[in-house]
Amino acid sequence: MLAEFTREELAAGLDALADDVLAEGGIFSPPVDAFHLAQGLGLTVAWDETQEGRARYVRLNDRSTAIPRATILLRPDPRGERRQWAVAHEIGEHVAHRAFVAWGIDPREAASNAREAVANALAGRLLLPTSWFLPDARRMQWDLWALKRRYATASHELLARRMLDFHPPVIVTIFDQTRITFRRGNLPGRAPPPSAAELTCWREAHHQCEPCERHDNLCRISAWPVHEADWKREILRTEVEEEW
């Protein structure tokens, strides 16, 4: 039933809900700490080393009140950004019903994966709220490293993927260990293969371990290395014309 709404209508509803949830949780500026947000919303976060997934949202009986308490069970993970995303996702699960109410949809009549899709979209908006992220991104000229400094709890990948939600038309490409693991644009249709200029920019960022920027046929290409001791990832953002 979500297909009845335009992409813009769905995004506006999710943006408004994310802003409301952040305000209710007492978060008014970046970076967003999902653990603090959960606490501000009255959610309990507890560690559970036995579960398979990163996190899950449950209601556990409170012996003192006999009232089920909303709880996020979180599997330990060495990466702070993954922990932040996991908690933000479960907060999204906690409030997803409010999005369906705003859209006038009975969640029981929506597609089986609709709630999960809403929770995912809300998680990105809780860590990177549109009302903050978009003006910051424009002011910083979409510089991934500058945005990461301001939104420290969000991963580089999440920052790059959120760029696809806004104008201008762009393609985001992620290289892991020299292999493309993600390439997507925000215009209809399949993104074309990387251009020679994109590959040149990527190689420079990969080998020199420094950001690279190039221009090709009115396209602006930016590449950022996200390197660790045993893993090399590069993220490209390519502004493109209105048609592939």
pLDDT digits (tens, 9 = 90+) for 159-205: 999 999 999 999 999 999 999 999 999 999 999 999 999 999 999 99
Q: How far apart are CA 144 and CA 139, in angstroms?
A: 12
How far does the chain reach from its first CA to its final CA, in angstroms?
30
Give the β-pairing of 44-47 and 68-74. Answer: parallel
DSSP designation for 218: T
Spatial neighbors of 240 by CB under 8 A, at least 6 apart, are 169, 170, 171, 185, 187, 219
pTM given for the model: 0.90
**Domain map of the chain by residue range?**
1-129
CATH (residue range 1-129): 1.10.10.2910
User: H or E segment at 73?
Assistant: strand 68-74
Q: How far apart are CA 135 and CA 20, in angstroms?
A: 18
pLDDT tens column, 149-163: 999 999 999 999 999
Describe the chain by its helix, strand, coil percentages, rounded to 5.
45, 25, 30
What count of Cα atoms within 13 Å lies in the side-chain half-sphere of residue 177? 3
- Conformation bin of residue 154: beta by default, left when phi > 0, alpha when psi is -120 to 50: beta
Residue 46 has pLDDT above 70, yes or no: yes
SS3 (DSSP) at 14: helix
Percent of the chain with pLDDT over 70: 94
